[in-house]
Structure 1
Amino acid sequence: MVPTENEIMAAKAELTALSAALNQVLFGQGDLVERTIVAVLAGGHVLLEGLPGLGKTQLVKGLARALGLSTKRIQFTPDLLPGDVTGNPMLEETPSGRRFVFQPGPLFAHLVLADEINRASPKTQSALLEAMQERHVTVLGESHPLPDPFFVLATQNPIELEGTYPLPEAQLDRFLFKLEVLRSDVDALAQIVLHRELGRDPEVPVVLDRARVVALQALCRRIHLPQAVVRYIARLVDATHPGRSETAKAVRYGASPRAALALAAAGKARALVQGRLQVGFEDVRALAAPVLVHRLVLDYTARLDGRAPADVVAALVAEVAPEERGLPPTVEVA
């Protein structure tokens, strides 16, 4: 059932308050804050990339506080083992004898901060795969469900820095968004100097609670997705594959169907954040880059030419025109 106008307006007011709280954590990063909120509503995981000291960890801590959710932090290092992430069976003495009891790891929280995820070995990184997709972990053949809601917000430093390991493609595909944390401009930097102190986290008010987060996610799923927008998403994702568009000549491997589902879910969430009852073409275009950049593998020639996945996505969005979705030529799409 499509949400009512009153439901949308009430949700928008709450989400505006959430955005205001997070904008006091990261000054001058409004787009990053909005997309993080969109990911929460869509129930997706986020990969935050940026140089050290730009506020990635502070954003995740502030988000957990504002949402009223439990949080755990995993500091990824080269010597971290998979069991350190998921948990381990522990031998316990009982009156009836010894038995193994599962000791949950730091993954068992609503919001998990995977800090500097690309500093861990690929084996340990892969320990997140089942949890991120299936929302449970399996240890010694026994499945253990994770809390609901469950989000992984991972931070990483750019790959060119020493001591990092590229994330496997299978794991990258499980992140709804890859977001770049940019360097602050002069005005934002002045705000940081004025309102921050080294070693002290900013005060963040509690805006929502677990039950309300779950309710907003359910409301998000009820946002209307018009058939024309569905076709646009399908054609855009299809165009990422070699031979399906002129731009895709630069692509070796295109996006999977999971990317189309991610665009649909994220589009609904963005519409809700902005107080609209249905998804529009502008939502898909605005979210194409964070959904697709980490899902495309460029060919060798494109990399030699200095083309980045973001450049290819921008070209695809420009190439796949709305009128190709069966719209009358007299209809203009904002």
Structure 2
Amino acid sequence: MASLSVPPVLTSPRQDAAALHKAFKGFGCDSTTVINILAHRNATQRALIMQEYRAIYHQDLYHRLSTELTGNHKAMLLWILDPAGRDATILNQALNSDIPDLRAATEIVCSRTPSQLQIMKQTYRVRFGCYLEHDITERAYGDHQRLLLAYLGVPRHEGPEVDPSAVTHDARELYKAGEKRLGTDERTFIRIFSERSWAHLASVASAYQHMYARSLEKAVKSETSGNFGFGLLTVLRCAESPAKYFAKVMHKAMKGLGTSDTTLIRVVVTRTEIDMQYIKAEYHKKYKRSLADAIHSETSGNYRTFLLSLVGRDR
């Protein structure tokens, strides 16, 4: 369930394009106007604004924003893209920066549905002129690489249907591949985690707990490590509840001294149009504090205004 707030009466995309162009004129960028427009338009409306901006001013709005915005305000560069373009851009930046952010890349891949991944892979190819699988092969390695490539390449069922006998079989296979033996059969973990639907995997986790009196998550933690273990845990946690997973990610990003703005931006801009209301509910349930209040206390200025415009203030 999305959290985006769109005014009941909108100005036209052409009027929005003209207002944005005016905001770019002069010394500095009127980021307040930019936020007031872009942070309150859905994906279709933003696409129309970009189309009108190009038609009127013969310039790409994304490029113009990239020259006008600095620091955390560049979060708006991600926001104006459609969901697949946003994911593709985050992945490209994570994989091809001077210091690759393999955790961010892993999170994007392992928290998306098969249909989302399919569109995102196509967008990546068109936008960056290469296959996502190629960049992953260049940057990741070992079991982590094999997990990501399998998760991207294997079609999975997205429905809620589950075969109880298959669930029991997979729970037994994972136990035999991990806790029952000396050493871990990583290929079995990769096969089951990459080939099964989220509904099936969530049922496997429940069966594992019932059969062996130990959570599958604890088994993964004890049997794997590094980016490979992180990928498996991301798949498992999103299978059980994407909202709980992302609530925990944002809490961790704002916990302690300093805030991981990169993580905060990534989650807010990619989940606002998908399930942010559910994330907010899980955040409040687990941490006894609203997500909006947490963001308000950890950010400032127009950056804070932008994030809260997407997340939505609690009423």
TM range (shorter): 0.3 to 0.5
- Please report the TM-score for the alignment, with normalisation by the length of structure 1: 0.32
Structure with the higher fraction of residues in strand conformation: 1
Structure with the higher fraction of residues in helix conformation: 2
- Please report the TM-score for the alignment, with normalisation by the length of structure 2: 0.33
